């Protein structure tokens, strides 16, 4: 996509802390062999082969790395759903994409607001720019639109899905070409008076809400992270670092976009809707 930054709308910012397919019968835990072949999951380096009769010993650096990084949860029930989300989320449109409805007072639609994360944790959302997509954008606070149905036939078991698409922030001055022009479909994010634009993709953070609270979820929410290649599901399930943060948002688990969106009181089926 090659457009001037003021043309299509989007929301971006530095990120904060931190399903199609039917459910499988597998229980949460280590992915089965076929899943391991399809999904690359970070795992410790292979242990060094020991001499016959001696116990195997891991490399010192490997042991230190294992101690420093806790094992990522991987619930195979939701891998297909995550893949389906990755394949369809861009069609939902960004939640503050003004091109989705008529401009106010006939003015030209504005690009989405650039969003800046409040997190300093680089391991989760910190030090990234992000833009947000929602399967049900109206429930997330966006204006109603005939082009925003709020449902996805490919994800029948899910009530809501939020996708944060993240990028490495690049200072505006560094992103311009020789003529001082920068082409993007996102308005720059601003921090401390400096403008930043999206650089290299940093991956996806996904929240999926089931229709009812299921075992192994965070009050009905499943969290997932996808690598920048948009193929590797690096973690999925009730990720402790994610749930610990989003529980601070209350029962709905959603923080929303600061100073912009307000939630709707209920979902399409009449059930209480999570607060963004």
What averages of pLDDT result for each successive group of 10 residues across the chain (276 residues)?
A: 43 40 44 45 38 48 52 91 96 65 36 51 61 88 69 88 91 72 73 85 94 94 96 95 88 76 43 38
Task: Decide if 9 contacts 110 (C-beta within 8 A).
Answer: yes
Round to whole Å and give the CA distance between 199 and 222: 28
Q: How far is CA 255 from each of CA 193, 252, 263, 269, rounded to the nearest angstrom?
A: 25, 9, 10, 22
pLDDT for residue 231:
95
Task: Decide if 208 contacts 78 (C-beta within 8 A).
Answer: yes
Which residue from 18, 9, 8, 30 is spatially nearest to 203, judged by alpha carbons?
18
pLDDT for residue 181:
63
Which residue from 137, 125, 120, 121 is spatially nearest to 167, judged by alpha carbons?
125
CA angle at 166 for the pair 159 and 91, rounded to the nearest 5°: 45
pLDDT for residue 194:
87
Say which residues have a Cβ less than 8 Å from residue 31's Cβ, sequence separation at least 6.
39, 41, 74, 76, 79
Round to whole Å and give the CA distance between 34 and 167: 31
Say which residues have a Cβ less than 8 Å from residue 129's Cβ, sequence separation at least 6.
12, 13, 14, 15, 114, 115, 116, 117, 166, 167, 168, 169, 189, 196, 197, 198
CA angle at 96 for the pair 116 and 162, rounded to the nearest 5°: 75
Task: Decide if 210 contacts 222 (C-beta within 8 A).
Answer: yes
Place of tokens 């600061």: 258
Which residue from 199, 165, 183 is spatially nearest to 6, judged by alpha carbons?
183
pLDDT for residue 47:
39
The two counts, helices (H) then strands (E), for the chain are 5, 7
pLDDT for residue 186:
76
**C-alpha dihedral, 256 to 159 to 233 to 71, nearest 10°:** 80
**C-alpha dihedral, 23 to 148 to 242 to 157, nearest 10°:** -10
The rounded Cα 211 to chain-centroid distance in angstroms is: 20
| pTM of this prediction exceeds 0.75 | no
């Amino acid at each position: 996509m090659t457009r001037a930054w003021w043309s299509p709308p989007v929301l971006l910012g530095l990120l904060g802390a931190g399903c199609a397919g039917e459910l499988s019968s597998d229980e949460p835990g280590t992915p089965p062999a076929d899943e391991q072949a399809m999904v690359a999951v970070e795992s410790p380096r292979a242990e060094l082969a020991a001499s016959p009769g001696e116990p195997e010993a891991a490399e010192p650096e490997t042991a230190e790395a294992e101690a420093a990084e806790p094992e990522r949860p991987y619930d195979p029930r939701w891998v297909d759903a995550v893949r389906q989300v990755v394949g369809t989320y861009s069609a939902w449109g960004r939640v503050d994409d003004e091109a989705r409805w008529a401009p106010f007072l006939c003015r030209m639609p504005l690009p989405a607001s650039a969003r800046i994360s409040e997190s300093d944790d680089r391991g989760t959302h910190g030090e990234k720019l992000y833009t947000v997509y929602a399967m049900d954008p109206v429930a997330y606070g966006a204006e109603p639109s005939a082009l925003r149905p709020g449902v996805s036939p490919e994800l029948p078991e899910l009530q809501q899905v939020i996708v944060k698409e993240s990028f490495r922030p690049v200072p505006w001055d560094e992103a311009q070409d020789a003529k001082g022009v920068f082409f993007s479909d996102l308005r720059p994010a601003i921090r401390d008076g400096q403008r930043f634009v999206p650089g290299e993709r940093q991956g996806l953070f996904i929240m999926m809400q089931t229709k009812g609270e299921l075992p192994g979820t965070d009050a009905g929410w499943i969290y997932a992270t996808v690598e920048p290649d948009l193929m590797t599901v690096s973690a999925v399930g009730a990720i402790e670092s994610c749930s610990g943060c989003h529980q601070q948002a209350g029962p709905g688990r959603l923080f929303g976009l600061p100073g912009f969106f307000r939630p709707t009181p209920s979902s399409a089926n009449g059930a209480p809707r999570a607060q963004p």
